Amino acid sequence: MGGRPPHDDDPLALDRETMRQQGYRVVDLLVDRLMADGPPLRRAAPAEMRERLGGPPSAAPQPLEDVLARLERDVLPYRSRVDHPRFLAFIPGSGTWPGALADFIASACNVYAGSWMESAGPSQVELEVLGWFKDWVGYPPEAAGSLTSGGSAANMTALACAREAKAGAMRDDLVLYVSDQAHSSIARAARILGFRPEQVRVLPTESSLRLSPESLAEAMETDVRAGRTPLAVCASAGTTNSGVTDLLAGLAEVCGKYEAWLHVDAAYGGFAVLTERGRQYVRDLELADSLTLDPHKWLYQPFECGCVLVRDGSLLRSAFELLPDYLSDSRAAAGETNFADLGLQLSRTSRALKVWVSIQTLGLDAFRAAIDRSIELAEHAADRVEASESLDLMRPPSLGIVCLRRRFAGVNEAEQERLNVALAAALEDSGVGLISSTRLHGRFALRLCILNHSTTREDVDAVLDFLEREEPARRPEPMRERHPDMSEMQFPSPLRAQQLFVDLTAADAEEVAALASQREAQPGETVIERWEGTRDFFVILDGTAEVFVSDEHVRSLGPGDFFGELAALDWGAGYSYPRLATVVAASRLRMLVFDEEAFAELLRFSDVERRIRAEVRRRLERR
Ligand X SMILES: *Cc1c(COP(=O)(O)O)cnc(C)c1O
Which residue from 240, 350, 493, 576 is in contact with ligand X, where contact means CB under 6 A?
A: 240
Query: CB of 236: closest distance to ligand X in angstroms?
Result: 6
Q: Which is nearer to ligand X, 160 or 464 (CB)?
A: 160
Q: Which stretch binds ligand X (CB under 6 A): 261-269, 437-445, 569-577, 589-597?
A: 261-269
**Phi, psi of 553, deg, nearest 5:** -75, 125
Q: 151 vs 177, 268, 328, CA distance in Å?
A: 18, 9, 30
Q: Which is nearer to ligand X, 268 or 537 (CB)?
A: 268
Q: Which is nearer to ligand X, 299 or 612 (CB)?
A: 299
Query: CB of 240: closest distance to ligand X in angstroms?
Result: 4
Q: Which is nearer to ligand X, 250 or 400 (CB)?
A: 400
d(CA 319, CA 193): 13
d(CA 540, CA 520): 10
Task: Answer for the pair 579, 531: CB distance below 8 angstroms, yes or no.
Answer: yes
Question: Does 83 interact with ligand X (rule: CB under 6 A)?
Answer: no
d(CA 464, CA 431): 14
Looking at the chain, how many residues does it have?
623
Q: 284 vs 266, 277, 396, 401, 516, CA distance in Å?
A: 11, 15, 21, 20, 48
Q: Return left, alpha or beta for 533; rule: phi > 0 is left, psi -120 to 50 is alpha, else beta.
A: alpha
CA nearest neighbour of 291 among 127, 139, 178: 139
Which residue from 246, 265, 459, 536 is in contact with ligand X, where contact means CB under 6 A?
A: 265
Q: Which of residues 201-220 bind ligand X (CB under 6 A)?
A: none
Question: Does 306 interact with ligand X (rule: CB under 6 A)?
Answer: yes
d(CA 352, CA 361): 14
Query: CB of 124: closest distance to ligand X in angstroms?
Result: 25
Instruction: Write out the DSSP string of 267-305.
Output: TTTGGGGGSHHHHTTS--GGG-SEEEE-HHHHT-PPSS-
Query: CB of 151: closest distance to ligand X in angstroms?
Result: 2
C-alpha dihedral, 38 to 41 to 44 to 49, nearest 10°: 70
Q: Which is nearer to ligand X, 267 or 291 (CB)?
A: 267
436-440 vs 144-148, strand pairing mode: unpaired
d(CA 428, CA 89): 10
Each residue 139-178 as x (binds ligand X by CB under 6 A) or -, in order, gives -----------xxx--x-----------------------
Question: Does 95 interact with ligand X (rule: CB under 6 A)?
Answer: no
Which residue from 103, 223, 246, 294 is in contact with ligand X, where contact means CB under 6 A?
A: 294
Q: Which is nearer to ligand X, 150 or 564 (CB)?
A: 150
Question: Does 357 interact with ligand X (rule: CB under 6 A)?
Answer: no
Question: Does 298 interact with ligand X (rule: CB under 6 A)?
Answer: no
Q: Which is nearer to ligand X, 228 or 296 (CB)?
A: 296
Which residue from 116, 268, 575, 577 is in contact with ligand X, where contact means CB under 6 A?
A: 268
Q: Which stretch binds ligand X (CB under 6 A): 75-83, 264-272, 462-470, 587-595?
A: 264-272
Query: CB of 141: closest distance to ligand X in angstroms?
Result: 26
Q: 355 vs 114, 155, 451, CA distance in Å?
A: 17, 20, 17
Q: Which is nearer to ligand X, 183 or 406 (CB)?
A: 183
d(CA 211, CA 195): 21
d(CA 182, CA 240): 8
Query: CB of 306: closest distance to ligand X in angstroms?
Result: 5
Question: Does 267 interact with ligand X (rule: CB under 6 A)?
Answer: yes
Query: CB of 155: closest distance to ligand X in angstroms?
Result: 6
Query: CB of 225: closest distance to ligand X in angstroms?
Result: 32
Q: Which is nearer to ligand X, 401 or 540 (CB)?
A: 401
Query: CB of 152: closest distance to ligand X in angstroms?
Result: 3
Q: Which is nearer to ligand X, 184 or 606 (CB)?
A: 184
Query: CB of 179: closest distance to ligand X in angstroms?
Result: 11
Q: Which is nearer to ligand X, 267 or 506 (CB)?
A: 267
247-253 LR contacts (CB < 8 Å, sep 24+): 247/210, 247/211, 247/212, 247/213, 248/283, 248/284, 248/285, 248/287, 248/288, 249/284, 249/287, 250/213, 251/211, 251/213, 251/216, 252/284, 252/287, 252/288, 253/213
Q: Which is nearer to ligand X, 150 or 433 (CB)?
A: 150
Which residue from 91, 235, 393, 450 is in contact with ligand X, where contact means CB under 6 A?
A: 91
Query: CB of 247: closest distance to ligand X in angstroms?
Result: 16
Q: Which is nearer to ligand X, 315 or 401 (CB)?
A: 401
Query: CB of 43: closest distance to ligand X in angstroms?
Result: 20
Query: CB of 519: closest distance to ligand X in angstroms?
Result: 40
C-alpha dihedral, 431 to 434 to 438 to 444, nearest 10°: -40
3-class SS letters over 191-224: HHCCCCHHHEEEECECCCCCECHHHHHHHHHHHH
Q: Which is nearer to ligand X, 83 or 294 (CB)?
A: 294
Q: Which of residues 559-618 bind ligand X (CB under 6 A)?
A: none
Beta bridge partners of 583: 528, 547
Task: Answer for the pair 284, 311: CB distance below 8 angstroms, yes or no.
Answer: no
Please report the sign of the dihedral spanned by the C-alpha atoms of residue 601, residue 605, residue 610, residue 612: negative
Q: Which is nearer to ligand X, 445 or 527 (CB)?
A: 445
Question: Does 183 interact with ligand X (rule: CB under 6 A)?
Answer: yes
Query: CB of 125: closest distance to ligand X in angstroms?
Result: 21
Task: Answer for the pair 93, 296: CB distance below 8 angstroms, yes or no.
Answer: yes
Which residue spans within 48-182 are E strands per DSSP? Answer: 144-148, 174-179
Tell the burial category of 256 from Cβ atoms under 10 Å away from its Cβ (0-12, 13-18, 19+): exposed
Beta bridge partners of 438: 445
- Total site size for ligand X, rule CB under 6 A: 14
Q: Round the CA-based radius of gyration of the chain to a whole number and report it.
A: 28
Q: 261 vs 121, 160, 189, 253, CA distance in Å?
A: 33, 11, 16, 11
Query: CB of 581: closest distance to ligand X in angstroms?
Result: 29
Task: Answer for the pair 305, 293: CB distance below 8 angstroms, yes or no.
Answer: no
- Which residues of this chain interact with ligand X, rule CB under 6 A? 91, 150-152, 155, 183, 185, 236, 240, 265, 267-268, 294, 306
